[in-house]
Structure 1
Amino acid sequence: MGENNNTSSIENKSYEYIPLEERGGSPRQFFFTWFAANTVSTTLVTGALAIIVGLNFWWGSLALILGNSFGAVITSLHSAQGPKIGTPQMVQSRAQFGYYGVALPMIIAFIMYVGYGSTNTVLVGQGINETLGINLNAVIIIAMVPMVLLAIYGQGIIERSMKIYTIFYAAVFLVLNIIVISQLSMEVLNKGSFSFGQFLLVISLGITWQITYGPYVSDHSRYMHPDNAKRTFLYTYLGINLSSTWLMILGAAVATMTVNGNVMAQIKDLGSSFGSLIVILLALGLIVVNSLNIYGAGIIALSIASNFIKFQTTIKLRVITSAVIGALIVLFSTVGANNFMSNFQIYLGFILFFIIPWSVITLTDFYILKHTNYDPRELMEKDGIFGKLNKSTLIIYLLTVMCQIPFINTEIYQGPVSKMIGGTDVAWLVGIVIGFSLYFVWSKITTDSPALKKASNIDFS
């Protein structure tokens, strides 16, 4: 790829725009990146939730297929924005929220990164603790070191690691697949029932899983040339959908055989000593994949800082930022490890609640209203055409978030409409419809805005 994206040196970009002369490479690499990102035990655990909430294997699998297939379209559209604009994903949102207004969705995205980073780190600790008996907190602290180092070196080494990881761990999960199938029975697969509310909940889990990649897929695809936007969409979709659907269904199959929902313990018991080896490999694999969360969180943190302070990214700054984020993840991992499954389910619901409105607004603006034409240089200017603070977008965003509240059903709170419709959680669907409708209509009735007119007439591709 470009000169700032190789494996021999530390990446020297974070929130900055990537000039065309520094771009290159093939979009095929995104198949490996996003296939690998899902080829982890966290995906198994997410799929297991389909059984834990009460569905049988068949209904749970169908819901996971639908959720992932739909959500992957949204994420892949975000990925295709990277080559067109050449900036990290959340920096692009200055076009909708304004130079300073984007700080709010950036903070939400940062919380998301740290949450997923903590989730993966807990699974590393649990896997090693379950098999080798090493203290959980000690494993978490030690495992964080290589995660932070990969994030510091950045894009080039992460991409190369992901390609090797995909090939090796696809084989590991294939072996696990064979072991699981050999021990399944129709009795356990049929165990459970069907509830429309549970079915929609599991669909939303698949959508959530996919859309949470949305805030940082462009962090990687921004190194592609604009001509590769369509292929970036295709390879992102194939990689991110195939791996997540496969492993979630596998996780659901494993969950049909568990008593307390402990998927990793069940995998250990499935294959005797070989099962223990698989658990160890799955835990160690998360070290590579979790570097994506630390890398993305670092870009977000520096992007937020760039809203208020002018600076160029340096190696020292990357090191300090990544180390601080690693420390935060260790803190949350050690605190939340004991109630992992409960915390994880609540966390997924929280993320969907706030990310859906941001995603809908961003994609509507980019693909429908402005027809993919942004001038990326204007995103770096606080006095640029996109303005300092777009109050209208922030109001629409917050209003969409609030409109979802009556429809949610979580362990913490159940909305009145959700109670009326038998516990069904359709907040995500409400978020999509309301977010799109409000932003589209408001943008159409304010087309006299000079910024909108100027932005929609730029062709920078």
Structure 2
Amino acid sequence: MEQRDSIVESRSFDHVPETERHGTIRSQVQFWFMVNATLITLFTGAVGPAMGLGLTWTLLAVIVGSIFGTLFQAFHGAQGPHMGLPQMIQSRVQFGSKGAVLPLAAVTIVQLGFAIFFIQTASSSLAAITVDQTAVFDIVIGASAVVLAIVGYSLLLRVEKVASYITLVNLVLLTVAAAAVLPIGALLGNSAFVPIAFLAQFGASAMYQIAIAPMVSDYTRYLPFRTSGRAVSAAVFGGTLLSAVWLEALGAALALADPQGADLISGIRDMGDRFGFGLGTVSMAVAVMSCLITCSLSFYSGSVSLLSAFEAFRPLKSTGAVRAIALAAAGIVVITATLSLPADFLPVFNAFLSILGYFLIPWTAVNLTDYYLVRRGVYSITDIMKSDGGIYGRWGMPGMISYAIGFIAMIPFLSSAIYTGPIATALGGADISFVVGLAVASGSYLLIMRGRDFSAEFEAVRAAPLNTLGHPQTSTPVPAEPMEGNIPA
């Protein structure tokens, strides 16, 4: 058994026993605040302004869209301490051990793909304040992110805690600079309302938050089992919402203040330089730090999903060595891609990642619907960890069918650089596919599972050595009664 004071984390796709649980609600707020506290978030706030939306309406769309999207990732947060499992392997309940491979593969590619952008942003920020050695910076930053991810969750938590204070101070100063340098009064007076632009900004802000959902339990699973699910969800919600809205608001203001500006990150640096006190240089240094940390989170979650998918076909014991090998291999692929991809290919690659992100919308709907409305958190951890799926099987047809129906329903509403559906075209390119996918996949799953008899399954859950009915880390069956409200009538 791994000890709390060990240097390198051995856990990846497996269950975390109570003896290794630690962390507080406050640390989770700081952790999730940092997840969105990268300058890449600025670009999400510029979607509405690019389509003619005024600042006031843009801010409203950012706030409402972010709240909507953050609710879904926050609901996933409560699953972590209750199940002690990373996020995506929980999908075996709804999709089966092999059926879950599709969303697992999509998450792996998306997470490692975004690592490329984090490395590039960090390198560009560092080059802006030092010398232009981008290739060297790519290698050093990528390798550093991999090392951080290999050491694991405990180090990431500590680093995020320190970084959150630095980032918070930097954001406060940038906000003061924006008020002093940008024509905020005039921008707020711009009340231009373009319905399609408002809808597009709402969708962009919501999707940006929903995209975090596949990684939430990866980091909340280390909290003690008895930690309040509501408190965890509130921590995730408050942390990510604050940084997302804050940076998107700055991005919107910068985009409207300089409509011809091509790079919002350069805009932040220029604004800081105009304000004085070396704020532009400091902000770039903070950007390097935040992108490096978030890149390591992408590596961490990507490797967990990769090993979860692999383990469904070949039983695999989670060890520090296995984690290190998977992360090193992922690091080599990502760093090589970062050095190889031409600059003009990046927009296409970003669009490709966005398309993959669509595959995760019906997944989150099915997963949350099962957890909160169907099985209500009553699961056998022992069976989830079996390569054959145990009582959940290799192929979970209700989840897979609901997922397929939800994704097909999204297609006419998709809007990306690669494909735009007919309804999205009629809406001027606004993307509301996530609303359709969430509603249709969730409704389909509820309809398919309606009236299903869970009595035999729940008896098997009670008998499982590891389950969610009591304290899920004993080596003997748990005779305790289920948590109130957990078993469906």
TM-score (norm 2): 0.87
1:368 aligns with 2:373: yes
CA shift for structure 1 position 430: 0.8
CA shift for structure 1 position 403: 1.2
CA shift for structure 1 position 135: 2.9
Residue 384 of structure 2 contacts residue 390 of structure 2 at CA under 8 Å; is this kept in 1?
yes
> 2:291 — aligned with what?
286
Q: What is the CA–CA distance in structure 1 between the aligned matches of 2:304 and 2:334, rounded to whole Å? A: 16
> 1:148 — aligned with what?
146
CA shift for structure 1 position 451: 4.1
Deviations 1:337-391 (A, max 9, x none): 6248845863564244211100000000001001111121110122511111113
1:303 aligns with 2:302: no
1:388 aligns with 2:394: yes
**Compared with structure 1, are the counterparts of its residues 127 and 344 closer, same or farther at alpha carbon in structure 2 (3 Å cutoff)?**
farther
Residue 373 of structure 1 contacts residue 456 of structure 1 at CA under 8 Å; is this kept in 2?
no
SS state at 2:442 partner: helix
- 2:283 is matched by which residue type in structure 1? I
Q: What is the CA–CA distance in structure 2 between the aligned matches of 1:308 and 1:386, rounded to whole Å? A: 15
CA shift for structure 1 position 405: 0.9
1:81 aligns with 2:79: yes
- 2:417 is matched by which residue type in structure 1? E
Q: Pairwise mapping of residues 106-185 of structure 1 onto structure 2 (< 5 A)? A: 106-185=104-183
- 2:433 is matched by which residue type in structure 1? A
Q: What is the CA–CA distance in structure 2 between the aligned matches of 1:270 and 1:217, rounded to whole Å? A: 34
Residue 113 of structure 2 contacts residue 353 of structure 2 at CA under 8 Å; is this kept in 1?
no
Residue 122 of structure 1 contacts residue 337 of structure 1 at CA under 8 Å; is this kept in 2?
no
Q: Pairwise mapping of residues 17-96 of structure 1 onto structure 2 (< 5 A)? A: 17-96=15-94
Could you tell which deviates more after superposition, 61-70 or 411-420? Answer: 411-420
Could you tell which deviates more after superposition, 422-431 or 192-201? Answer: 192-201
1:460 aligns with 2:469: yes
Q: What is the CA–CA distance in structure 2 between the aligned matches of 1:421 and 1:271, rounded to whole Å? A: 37
- 1:19 is matched by which residue type in structure 2? P
- 2:174 is matched by which residue type in structure 1? L
Residue 70 of structure 1 contacts residue 207 of structure 1 at CA under 8 Å; is this kept in 2?
yes
CA shift for structure 1 position 3: 5.5
**Compared with structure 1, are the counterparts of its residues 15 and 4 closer, same or farther at alpha carbon in structure 2 (3 Å cutoff)?**
farther
SS state at 2:360 partner: helix
CA shift for structure 1 position 49: 3.1
Q: What is the CA–CA distance in structure 2 between the aligned matches of 1:177 and 1:343, rounded to whole Å? A: 32
> 2:435 — aligned with what?
429
> 1:246 — aligned with what?
246
Q: What is the CA–CA distance in structure 2 between the aligned matches of 1:415 and 1:33, rounded to whole Å? A: 37
| Stretches of structure 2 lacking an aligned partner (at least 5 in a row) | 471-489
**Compared with structure 1, are the counterparts of its residues 269 and 427 closer, same or farther at alpha carbon in structure 2 (3 Å cutoff)?**
same
Could you tell which deviates more after superposition, 43-52 or 404-413? Answer: 43-52
> 2:362 — aligned with what?
357
CA shift for structure 1 position 96: 0.3
Aligned residues: 459
Q: What is the CA–CA distance in structure 2 between the aligned matches of 1:406 and 1:290, rounded to whole Å? A: 33
> 2:323 — aligned with what?
318
**Compared with structure 1, are the counterparts of its residues 123 and 456 closer, same or farther at alpha carbon in structure 2 (3 Å cutoff)?**
farther
**Compared with structure 1, are the counterparts of its residues 192 and 136 closer, same or farther at alpha carbon in structure 2 (3 Å cutoff)?**
farther
Q: What is the CA–CA distance in structure 2 between the aligned matches of 1:52 and 1:330, rounded to whole Å? A: 32
Residue 85 of structure 1 contacts residue 376 of structure 1 at CA under 8 Å; is this kept in 2?
yes
Q: What is the CA–CA distance in structure 1 between the aligned matches of 2:417 and 2:237, rounded to whole Å? A: 32
SS state at 2:78 partner: helix
Residue 191 of structure 1 contacts residue 256 of structure 1 at CA under 8 Å; is this kept in 2?
no
SS state at 1:244 partner: helix
Q: Pairwise mapping of residues 253-292 of structure 1 onto structure 2 (< 5 A)? A: 253-258=253-258, 259-272=260-273, 273-292=278-297
Residue 9 of structure 1 contacts residue 153 of structure 1 at CA under 8 Å; is this kept in 2?
yes
> 2:212 — aligned with what?
213
> 2:225 — aligned with what?
226
CA shift for structure 1 position 453: 8.0
**Compared with structure 1, are the counterparts of its residues 237 and 143 closer, same or farther at alpha carbon in structure 2 (3 Å cutoff)?**
same
SS state at 1:285 partner: helix
1:12 aligns with 2:14: no
- 1:372 is matched by which residue type in structure 2? G
**Compared with structure 1, are the counterparts of its residues 5 and 74 closer, same or farther at alpha carbon in structure 2 (3 Å cutoff)?**
farther
**Superposition CA RMSD, Å:** 2.4
CA shift for structure 1 position 419: 2.9
Residue 381 of structure 2 contacts residue 468 of structure 2 at CA under 8 Å; is this kept in 1?
no
Sequence identity (%): 27
CA shift for structure 1 position 65: 0.6
1:377 to 382, 390, 408: 382
> 1:398 — aligned with what?
404
> 2:485 — aligned with what?
none
**Compared with structure 1, are the counterparts of its residues 127 and 91 closer, same or farther at alpha carbon in structure 2 (3 Å cutoff)?**
same
- 1:266 is matched by which residue type in structure 2? G
Q: What is the CA–CA distance in structure 1 between the aligned matches of 2:293 and 2:426, rounded to whole Å? A: 44
TM-score (norm 1): 0.92
